Amino acid sequence: MNIEIDVSNVTLRTSRLILRPWTMDDLDDFHEYASIDGVGQKAGWLPHENKETSLIVLQHFIAEKKTFALEFEGKVVGSLGIEEYDEQELPEFQNKRGREIGFVLSKDYWGQGLMPEAVKAVTKYLFDDLDLDFIVCGHFVDNVRSMRVQEKCGFRHCKLIKTTTQYGAVKDCWLSILER
């Protein structure tokens, strides 16, 4: 079962990152990476065509209180959201506490180990502070980078599903799971 999430007052620190709630001051950094071709498509959304689109999404992040901004050297370079998982897709977990995570990182910072660092901090928070039993994370079959992040963090493939992106494409997606 999905549990309630509110990260509006949560800050996590790693050796290189600060994971914190989003603020309106993050708009320029967010738009900078969200508008780059090849970033959003890996997560199922199209690049932001203008700052107004980024503003709408940023306002959603702030209002929903479930997405961390990833700050590296004073700049927001990505996001990590704690989403509701599809309980109908994973009925075997109906009596366990869980959530799904999803993440995006600026193309300029790929390959530096930042996302595994962020995922490990959030999974520790979810298990230790919120007492979750499991965490789900998905990746499109062709998204090798996301697959590698999940492998490095201990996730294992659970189920292959079809999913529809925000831009209407139907893609194969691996659901992976990490249990306490």
**Rounded CA gap, 18 and 108, in Å?**
18
Query: Are 34 and 41 spatial neighbours (Cβ–Cβ below 8 Å)?
Result: no
Q: 3, 37, 2, 44: which is closest to 138 by C-alpha?
A: 44
> What is the architecture, at CATH level 2, of domain 12-179?
3-Layer(aba) Sandwich (3.40)
pTM: 0.91
Instruction: Work out the percent of the chain whose per-residue pLDDT is above 70.
Output: 95
Predicted local distance difference test score (pLDDT) of residue 40: 63
Residue 65, Cα to own-chain centre: how many angstroms? 13
Q: How confident is the model at residue 23 (pLDDT cuts 50, 70, 90)?
A: very high
Predicted local distance difference test score (pLDDT) of residue 88: 87
Region 55-63: what's the mean pLDDT?
A: 96
Domain residue ranges in the chain: 12-179
Digit-coded pLDDT (tens) for 99-139:
999 999 999 999 999 999 999 999 999 999 999 999 999 99
Predicted local distance difference test score (pLDDT) of residue 61: 96
Most confident residue range from 20-24, 38-42, 46-50: 20-24
